[in-house]
Amino acid sequence: MNESATDWRAHFLGVGARGFNAPASPAWVLEQGGAPLLLVDCGPDIPEAYQAAYGCLPAALFLTHAHYDHIGGLEALAFHLRFADPPAPPCRLFVPAPLVPVLQRRVADYPGTLAEGGANFWDVFHLIPVSAGFWHRERAFRVFPARHHLPDSAFGLSLPGVFWYSSDTRPIPEQAIAHAGHGEVLMHDCRVEGNPSHSGAADLAREYSPEQRARMWLYHYQDADAAPELEALGFRVARPRVPIMLRTDEDAASILQTPVIPGA
């Protein structure tokens, strides 16, 4: 298929499931016209997977929360950026404001970024704390709270008219109503059986409308064998390296031109 410059796609590098020949940690790339626009999350095996897919380092990254399978690749990414030849520009790092001190403690405070000294962890990133949303490449993204362990510890992401991504979460239908009411593709955390950290198929069937479920793609299921089980229940399932078509700019134009980001 010929890629249009206005095609938006989601390219999952890993779906958070074992059993695929792909990273086990969940992370995906928002593409426009086949080119990477924004990486979402950076687990321990994601920097290498990103380079293999695109032949470059990520220019922009959004972090949903600070569990290891979502931030474990930050140190490796920092080293790749620092020693890139030719030199790479700082990566724009969009981080929900409550997570900034968490990242400082979990990653940046490690003593001796370089054995030789003279370097800080944050030198290779352009850190941009965010709350309700942010601008990137002339697009207005929205950020909203997820339900994954404690309050203010995990966040979802949306681009009005294009996509809504739940992040790791229990059901949050109110956030889908608020941020995905215009036909956006919904990408939702889901296992066959839910647990206190993640949604299950029965949870989605109970909490979301048939119309919302018809727009869903599921990720973070437990392993490759769970994918056909979820499909048998009527859901679509994301798989590594299989792009998901989202929308075109023509489809979303009127929505994309009227952003609402309080304080951004």
CATH number (domain holding residue 69): 3.60.15.10
Strand order in the sheet with 35-40: 125-130, 91-96, 60-62, 35-40, 27-32, 7-14, 244-248
In a domain, 222, yes or no: yes
In a domain, 264, yes or no: no
Is 113 within 8 Å of 99 (Cβ atoms)? no
Short-list 103, 137, 106, 108, CA closest to 121: 108
For 57, the 3-state DSSP assignment is coil
Q: What pLDDT is recorded for position 3?
A: 47
Quote the Cα angle for 87-12-243, to 5°.
Answer: 105
In a domain, 94, yes or no: yes
pLDDT at 15 exceeding the cut of 60: yes
In a domain, 263, yes or no: no
H-helix or E-strand spanning residue 93: strand 91-96
pTM of the model: 0.92
Strand order in the sheet with 236-237: 133-136, 139-145, 155-159, 163-165, 185-189, 216-219, 236-237
The predicted-structure confidence for 48-63, as pLDDT tens digits, reads as follows: 999 999 999 999 999 9
Q: What pLDDT is recorded for position 92?
A: 98
- Distance from CA of residue 81 to its chain's centroid? 20
Domain residue limits at 54: 7-112+119-256
pLDDT at 246 exceeding the cut of 90: yes
Residue 240 CB partners (closer than 8 Å, separation 6+): 12, 13, 14, 15, 20, 21, 22, 23
In a domain, 62, yes or no: yes
Is 165 within 8 Å of 142 (Cβ atoms)? no
In a domain, 2, yes or no: no
Q: Which of 19-23, 117-121, 142-146 has the highest mean pLDDT?
A: 142-146
Q: 1 pLDDT band (50/70/90 cuts)? A: very low
Mean of pLDDT over the chain: 92
Question: What is the average per-residue pLDDT within 245-255?
Answer: 70
Q: 110 pLDDT band (50/70/90 cuts)? A: confident
pLDDT at 198 exceeding the cut of 50: yes
Q: Which two three-digit tokens encode residue 226?
A: 């769970």
Residue 162 and residue 184: Cα distance in Å, rounded? 5
Q: What pLDDT is recorded for position 248?
A: 72
Q: What pLDDT is recorded for position 113?
A: 83
Neighbours of 62 (CB within 10 A): 25
Looking at the structure of the chain, the number of domains it has is: 1
In a domain, 261, yes or no: no
In a domain, 1, yes or no: no
